Homo-oligomer: A and B are copies of this chain.
């Protein structure tokens, strides 16, 4: 992969609005794996220098996608080990490391779901908000175990409707509510399970707007609130303050009125003191509070 081809790959990676953060992280690893095999270099030192540079560029292309930074950083730790190795050996080793991390990332979702299913057990009513692939995987693991779901529409794009269809496919009795009804229905749940966009260094949750309201209602009604996500979604202090992205206000389909500002912020922060525990691919970590 020469510079021109890499630039094309980065542009496509930057423009991708279809895939989630974890899938993009795997895509970044695929690009780096290819760079390791075909990047122009005469020695392993040359190769490492080139790859170091390209990792920075890829990471910077999607700064708010925490799994991208985290998985690339893990791969990057392998670079220094290769410095001084025979070039071909370095190429093969780094490409394999990228593949290993891709598999690790793919397995992580399944393992998180397995850990969550084991911890929560059968016969519960689970409450969730928005659509998380990890939480959906958890529902799949709980199929046929007398589990019910209470889910939200998730305005403005209503990804709750997609989740409702998936749950119906699992024959899981499901109640669909507006966000406004969160406070009314939380008491009917045994537990809240929430996916994550990312986690702040202190464990606070960045997730689809409205998650914070679910957490407030859950605390008030003594319903435990668990976050289910892969460890790659953990932000570090070095990443700085998170940016809570806003999308096009037109997504709300509200009337356009002069003097009225329509807001469409996609993420909110659920502070750590409202979280009962975190379930990742390693296990269950319970809150100290």
| Chain A residues proximal to chain B, CB less than 8 Å | 153-156, 158, 161, 164-165, 167-168, 171-185, 208-210, 212-213, 216-217, 220, 244, 252, 254-255, 257-265, 268
A179 to B155, Cβ gap below 8 A? yes
- Identify 14 residue pairs between A and B in the complex whose beta-carbon atoms are under 8 Å apart, listed by A's number: A153-B155, A155-B178, A164-B260, A168-B258, A174-B257, A174-B261, A176-B261, A178-B252, A180-B209, A181-B209, A184-B212, A184-B265, A213-B217, A216-B216
Set of chain B residues within 8 Å of A177, measured between Cβ atoms: 262-263
A153-B252, A183-B210, A213-B216 in contact; A178/B264 too (CB < 8 A)? yes
Residue of B181, B261, B268 near A183 (CB, 8 A) is B268
A217-B216, A252-B153 in contact; A210/B180 too (CB < 8 A)? yes
B209 to A257, Cβ gap below 8 A? no
Q: Interface residues of A: mostly helix, strand, loop or mixed?
A: mixed
Beyond A177-B263, A178-B209, 13 extra complex contacts between A and B, CB < 8 Å: A155-B180, A161-B255, A168-B259, A175-B261, A175-B262, A176-B261, A178-B264, A179-B180, A181-B209, A181-B263, A183-B210, A184-B212, A216-B220
Chain B: CB-nearest residue to A156: B178
Set of chain B residues within 8 Å of A164, measured between Cβ atoms: 254-255, 257, 260
**A264 and B177 alpha carbons, distance in the complex (Å):** 7
